[in-house]
Amino acid sequence: MPSRRNVLLAGGGLLVAAGTTTAQSAQAAEPGQSQITTRNPLIEQRADPFITRPVNGMYYMTGSVPEYDRIVVRGAPTIDGLASARERTIWRRPSSGKMGGHIWAPELHRIDGRWYVYFAAGDSDDVFRIRTYVLESIADDPRTDSWVLRGQMITKWDTFTLDSTTFEHRGRRYFAWAQSEPGIATNSNLYIAEMASPLAIKGDPVRLAVPTLPWEIQGFKVNEGPAVIIRNGRVFMTYSASATDARYCMGLLTADEQSDLLDARSWTKSPQPIFTTNENTRQYGPGHNSFTVAEDGKTDVLVYHARDYRDISGDPLYDPNRHTRVQRLYWNDDGTPSFGVPVGKGGPALRFSPLNAPNLYVRHYEYRLRVDGDVRELADSQFRIVPGFRDPGRIALQSVNFPDRYVRVVDPMTIRVDPYDESDVYGKAASFVQVPGLADSKATSFRLTTDPAAYLGHDNGRFVVVRPSGSQRDRQRVSFWIR
């Protein structure tokens, strides 16, 4: 029997049954549903990650390199393909003078048939004299040697400026960024302006957010790294706050999509952070995110960086191990985004929805499994399919937010996520056979190892062991969409 260590080192992504992987298993999902079938982390030592939506069938990715000396771009037809894609340096800082200092947080945007990179740069004699600059390319492929430096993005004040992004909404293009404003005792605030062109803003900037809440001022008073996603009648702007160590976290601003985005009163700041360090998954300082979509063109994907450890020697800014990570972004019933927790190393984090109750999800509450709707604690409903503990061809269901716990049958009416132990009793009770859904072969069912006629199933909100009869209702009770 494999040890817990070996199971976890397997990456959490392998399905032993039939020699498949979760990437293949995820195809057994409800039509129209998509899995984020990628590894975590996706790319090591790439902070401030930005992944485009597909352009001519290609994803492109850029981010900060640990040396802070250049801008790189890689491309692939899939998100997962970015992990092994060859990286090209498209611009390198000069050896001295202006822009010869730290190069931070590039973003890559396709606007009116041209590529633009917005990035922050310091000077060689003052690496923290950070300002925002822009590169332009007329090439179809941003990895080519066709970039031209177009100069500095000018704002109202000649002060510390970084983390610029751009988005279009209702026929207008906007620029959002972080900047230190004279007269305000913070490191950086969030601003927005309309763009006159991809190279310039018009009008005065509008201040959207100032770090004032306790979780925004840990170490430094920071609001930075804005990223925008427009869904469900609202404009959502995520941002990052506090120092770049384990205290780094993400907040959220929200505006009605019909409102004037240049009116600060249109925006509401969420009082609590929406994405933070998680000790159980051992993910520290998640932040500086962007958004993309999965290969189906509609499933939203959260892109961010985080470390695998809390303790850092020296200035966290120079610790190289902020890795690029991706995970699916879900949506609550009220239309707001549901971020969950930064998931740990391994394969895709999955949710299971009953075939005959597609708006409900299998989740654990106080470690006991049940079936609920509108699960606000998203991570309670996320699992990984990993190698089983007993015979070949078995799988186990690992809790995402308590990765030392696995789904275990205690008795026919009690199924829990319990800490792993190496006993034969535990191994049998926590191992299952994954088979095509009994009610629909595109779904999936989990058969007990100890009883080939019994399956994991649901009954009026309870998650129980079911011995299905020949009825369609019984077969549906033990069949689940993977989402």
The yes-or-no answer on residue 224 being catalytic is yes
Residues facing residue 89 across a β-bridge: 72
Contacts with 398 (C-beta within 8 Å, 6 or more apart), sequence order: 12, 346, 383, 384, 385, 386, 405, 406
**8 A C-beta contact, residue 345 and residue 278:** no
Question: Of the residues 181, 224, 245, 319, which is catalytic?
Answer: 224
The yes-or-no answer on residue 245 being catalytic is no
Residues facing residue 324 across a β-bridge: 43, 305
Contacts with 30 (C-beta within 8 Å, 6 or more apart), sequence order: 353, 358, 442, 443, 481, 483
Q: At CB < 8 A and 24+ separation, what contacts does 169-178 make?
A: 169/230, 169/235, 169/257, 169/261, 170/257, 173/111, 173/198, 174/228, 174/261, 175/201, 176/208, 176/226, 176/228, 176/237, 177/132, 177/153, 177/226, 178/222, 178/223, 178/224, 178/225, 178/226, 178/239
**8 A C-beta contact, residue 455 and residue 474:** no
> 3-class DSSP state for residue 11?
coil
Question: Of the residues 48, 123, 319, 380, which is catalytic?
Answer: 48
Q: Which of 225, 360, 355, 328 lies closest to 285 in space, CA to CA?
A: 225
**8 A C-beta contact, residue 175 and residue 201:** yes
Burial class (CB in 10 A: 0-12, 13-18, 19+), 160: middle
Residues facing residue 72 across a β-bridge: 89
What CA–CA distance (Å, rounded) separates 12 from 344?
10
What CA–CA distance (Å, rounded) separates 331 from 50?
21
- By annotation, the residues acting in catalysis are 48, 224
